[in-house]
Structure 1
């Protein structure tokens, strides 16, 4: 796994920012203060050993999921078929690259196969998600709304309540997540670059174009056009719309520490025109700050 090296000055700034809990020093910079005011950031860290959320900022802010919804697509597939079901090769060929390499075509195929927005509706009801809603335009699964708090709930369900067979399938694949996504983007930002040791992760990004800033893998072969996709042209804004469908989104979610003790979700929205490299570096910096702040609080 590629480990992005945070510049020395940035590390120093992060250590200063997380040296004391905010309650002990109100003027100490917080992780969210490390980003410009026009960047939206929401995060949550849950400690399974302590049984509580240990650090959060704006955890119930609703942000479009991008590829993070693939966690729900995979979980719903497994839950709907039962633990005795043997996944056929054609579906393994979708689920594995979707979880490990964020394969969008695989997600689109499973989205259509299992009922489009009904996937999200079933998972909201089963897991008790409070901020998650299916996309208004059901053809674009990446427009699903969720929050950092709900992402934590999804991981908690997988790790502590789901059938062991489902848990093993999802977490084993996330622990083997690849540096390169199927579409050629480098998905090693955030958790895999900011947190030492082994991590399991599922990333998300949207509106950075279709061409990565530099090659990461050979472009995948063309597949049959699908009736569903991650995202598309955003609808005209309406007064009642509360979900940003236009700003570039980049998210990092997953687990770390032995036995997946810690769950972290960091969700961001960037100003229109932000480059991939700028967003990836910024998200990794914030993720490192969240990690260090939580370490100071809980060890």
Structure 2
């Protein structure tokens, strides 16, 4: 599924040339590598990558209108986005104080911030499973949300959900829920960790397309996704099951199911801008066998194309990368342990570049390093899909 970590000899040269040409073509055809200006909004037309099935809803709370709707009522399997409903169900009728016991706070906070599956398993098992979804459908007047299908009742990630129902959930949290509920949920979503509990990099979509302030709850599910590698490499955790639940191996799914249970899914949901101005819900399915890095890149491009009032787009240049297990480091050298690793082949935002330690991937060497502002660290330019050692359209980093 992924390119090998090293390219060798003449074959390596050919592949590097092809990769660079493909990257340049993507830049010319998609506009993905064009520097984004904070003051300029993208056109009000979602640009959905080839092969991707998407449900999109963007709601401007200031004007009370949708700026984007594409297949907004289409049902997708929720993956971890359902954790919003698990949290709301637990907090329901706990007023007026809404005091959360310490044991539950210790579960709910990592479930919202880091998408912890063990916590979701606990609430699903102890609070009624599908009955949770039925209660929330009734209380929030959801129209496209349904429990997992018959035969999959134990898999919370198979809950059906649409983009417009996701917007409705956020509108309840922001505009109707008691203040302690709103502050608890949104406060934790604002503290979303880059590395999820299962070591997947979860700062795709909204978190990559816009500068803070934002708050996100993400979802992902797919048997083609590799083991998580976010964070220091020696802490990588076991593979996430395809439903988002770790308690049992996930079934294969059925082709006749109304909601697709098998294609790789990647969802980004949350709010963007000061005062949580705009609610964004982007639910996506990708072709069978799609790598995590490819899905991550595609949902990023789609999210960046949206008209999101109040959203501030980060400054920099988007570039593709190649190789697996590319390390992000605090400075342009290999002297210190890596901070984290990139998803294989993912597109990254480059803020500036500087010379540092020479890196060798025979027959190539390169002493230029790219600074990734969204990671707060550097990768060697040798892993960026460009024919030049020094990226021609990226400024040098200011001297420190």
Shorter-chain TM range is: 0.7 to 0.9
Matched with 1:71 is: 84
Report whether the alignment pairs 1:50 with 2:63. Answer: yes
Which of 38, 42, 49 aligns to 1:35? It is 49
| Counterpart-to-counterpart distance in 2, 1:195 and 1:82 | 35
Hey, what's the Cα distance between the residues in 1 that align with 2:163 and 2:203? Answer: 19
Question: Of the candidates 200, 203, 220, which is equivalent to residue 205 of structure 1?
Answer: 220
* Structure 1: distance between partners of 2:303 and 2:134: 30
| Structure possessing the higher radius of gyration over alpha carbons | 2
Does structure 2 conserve the Cα–Cα contact (< 8 Å) formed by 1:140 and 1:231?
no
Q: Report the CA distance shift for 1:163/1:248 in structure 2 as closer, same or farther (over 3 A).
A: same
Partner SS state of residue 55, structure 1: strand
SS state of the match for residue 81, structure 1? Answer: coil
Match of 2:169 in 1: 154
Among 213, 232, 243, which residue is 2:259 paired with?
243
Aligned partner of residue 54 in structure 1, secondary structure: strand
Give the aligned partner of residue 27 of structure 1: none
Is the contact made by 2:61 and 2:277 (CA closer than 8 Å) also made in structure 1? yes
Distance 2:261 2:282 in 1: 18
Q: Any gaps of 5 or more consecutive residues in structure 2?
A: 1-25, 239-244, 311-400
Structure 1 residue ranges (4+ consecutive) displaced by more than 4 angstroms after TM superposition: 6-9, 18-21, 208-211, 227-231
> Over aligned residue pairs, what C-alpha RMSD do you find?
2.6
The separation in 2 between residues aligned to 1:92 and 1:169, in whole angstroms, is 10
1:260 paired residue number: 276
Q: What SS does structure 2 have at the residue aligned with 1:31?
A: coil
**Structure with the larger RCO, 1 or 2 (CA within 8 Å, 6+ apart):** 1
Aligned to 1:10: 32
**Could you say if the C-alpha distance between residues 97 and 220 of structure 1 is closer, same or farther in structure 2, counting changes exceeding 3 Å?**
farther
CA–CA distance in 1 between the matches of 2:106 and 2:225? Answer: 22
Cα distance change of structure 1 residues 20 and 47 upon mapping to structure 2, 3 Å threshold: closer
Question: CA offset at residue 68 of structure 1?
Answer: 0.2
- The offset of 1:93, in angstroms, is 1.2
Answering whether residue 302 of structure 2 is matched by residue 286 of structure 1, we say yes
Distance 1:253 1:91 in 2: 24
The SS at the match of 1:234 is coil
CA distance in 2, matches of 1:159, 1:182: 26
3-state SS of 1:109 partner: helix
**Distance (Å, rounded) in 2 between the aligned partners of 1:92 and 1:98:** 10
Whole-angstrom CA distance in 1 between matches of 2:248 and 2:63 = 36
Secondary structure of 2:284's aligned partner: strand
For residue 121 of structure 1, what is the aligned residue in structure 2?
A: 134
TM-score (norm 2): 0.63
Contact 1:140/1:230 (CA < 8 Å) preserved in 2? Answer: no
Shift of 1:215: 3.8
CA–CA distance in structure 1, aligned partners of residues 43 and 268 of structure 2: 25
Q: 1:246 to 1:168 in 2, by over 3 A?
A: same
Q: Residue 153 and residue 209 in structure 1: after superposition, are their counterparts in 2 closer, same or farther (change >3 A)?
A: same
1:209, 1:81 → 2: CA distance? 40
Higher strand proportion: 2
Deviation of residue 14 (structure 1)?
Answer: 8.8
SS at 1:132 equivalent? coil
Deviations 1:245-283 (A, max 9, x none): 000000000001111011000010001100000000110
Query: Which secondary structure does the structure 1 equivalent of 2:32 belong to?
Result: helix
**Of 91, 104, 123, the match for 1:110:** 123
